[in-house]
Amino acid sequence: AQSVTQLDSQVPVFEEAPVELRCNYSSSVSVYLFWYVQYPNQGLQLLLKYLSGSTLVKGINGFEAEFNKSQTSFHLRKPSVHISDTAEYFCAVSRMDSSYKLIFGSGTRLLVRP
């Protein structure tokens, strides 16, 4: 079975500061990895995905993530955050060997302060 751990339930940061949101996963098979963002009272929007190739993945809104297979991590980063980045961020994994299921972490609330 797969599991996803987002250790930080909330990350406060000042505007224009860098941020890293941590994601670790556990799986007995190879997985694909995703980051989603959820703004208040909205659905989830795909930020970026790692399927194969370069371990550094760039997404929308200036976010990027790095896949580290040995540490089973997929941390999300942004060099300079804006107030508008305040939202809930979810890491998710799916199995490579034919599965329709996304396994989500419990989410990290990014709170950007002026």
Partner 1 sequence: SQTIHQWPATLVQPVGSPLSLECTVEGTSNPNLYWYRQAAGRGLQLLFYSVGIGQISSEVPQNLSASRPQDRQFILSSKKLLLSDSGFYLCAWSGSGTGGNQPQHFGDGTRLSIL
Residues that bind partner 1 (CB under 8 A): 31-32, 34, 36, 41-46, 49, 51, 90, 93-102, 104-107
Output phi, psi for 83, to 5 deg. Answer: -55, -40
Residue in this structure with the two tokens 């002026």, named with its chain if needed: 114
Q: How far is the CB of 87 from partner 1 (least distance, A)?
A: 14
Closer to partner 1 by CB, 58 or 101: give it: 101
Q: How far is the CB of 80 from partner 1 (least distance, A)?
A: 26
Closer to partner 1 by CB, 15 or 75: give it: 75
DSSP tag of 102: P
Closer to partner 1 by CB, 3 or 80: give it: 3
Containing H/E element for 99? Answer: none
Q: How far is the CB of 103 from partner 1 (least distance, A)?
A: 9
Taking the chain, what is the end-to-end CA distance rounded to the nearest angstrom? 41
Q: How far is the CB of 18 from partner 1 (least distance, A)?
A: 25
Containing H/E element for 94? Answer: strand 87-95
Q: How far is CA 1 from the centre of its chain?
A: 20
